[in-house]
Amino acid sequence: MNPSQGSSVPSEHETVGAYALGILDDAEATAFEAHLAGCEWCAQQLDELAGMEPMLAALADLPGSGSTPAIGESLSARPSPRVVEKLVDEVAERQAQKRRRSMYMIAAAAALIIAGPLAAVAVNGGSDGGGQQVAATPAQQTFRTMSAKKSATDASTHVSATVAMAPKDWGTQAVLELKNVKGPLKCSLVLVAKNGQRVTMSSWSVPNWGYGIPDAKTEQSKQPLYIGGAAAFQPDEIDHFEVVTFEGKKLVQVQA
């Protein structure tokens, strides 16, 4: 039977639309090309569908485009309405996948740009207190270049923190220096804005040996933690910073 007759189009003929849009994977495309070699109807449909992706993409962005029976009648190529509906759905899904991939790539790039050069911890090459001191980490180097610093020590936990800040067009860059904290812990640096909004700037794990312990037996434990963070608030919009555990315990608070 001719594929244009009857009430439905066999699935192998519907594939012509996905092939025209270039959204088949390699295996599917190869299988369809084998079918296309012996199917005059699909060859004709492929010619008619050539160049229709922009139109279908526009239709896919329209509200309610998931069910528009009249679309087939509005296209000059006039393929079957069922085929066109399937194509619109496929284009919409393809666009959604592209948008999701773009968002993931942007987020990953931002994390690398902001955290990459900053989220580093000062460590020591030796474990017996006499090892050779390694060079300052990027986060520690950035901390040293920042002139705006605020410090505090909690009377209860005895944890000390210094937050260095620098204004940016997009908000505030910060580097935390944390001392006298023992692990194991998982912590976050939280910015509290003057409007009450709370933003987590970074998070990390504290190992058993801790950071910045003055009377520690190893140089590794004596080294402070230096870790970077960023937020969309400008420095004059910030009220204070908090170092808190994942369980919600506040270790230290630093006024901005």
Model confidence at 27, pLDDT cuts 50, 70, 90, reads confident
Q: Which residue has the higher pLDDT, 137 or 199?
A: 199
Identify the burial level of 77 via C-beta atoms within 10 angstroms of its C-beta, where 0-12 means exposed, 13-18 middle and 19 or more buried: middle
Q: Which helix (H) or strand (E) holds 14?
A: helix 11-21
Length of the chain: 256
Does 120 have pLDDT greater than 50? no
CB 146 within 8 A of CB 175: yes
Considering Cα of 23, then 27, then 31, then 37, what sign does the dihedral take?
positive
Local structure of 231: helix, strand or coil: strand
The tens digit of pLDDT for each residue in 54-101 reads: 555 555 454 544 444 444 444 444 445 555 565 556 556 655 655 555
Q: Cα(210)–Cα(197) distance, rounded to whole angstroms?
A: 30
> Residue type at 89?
D
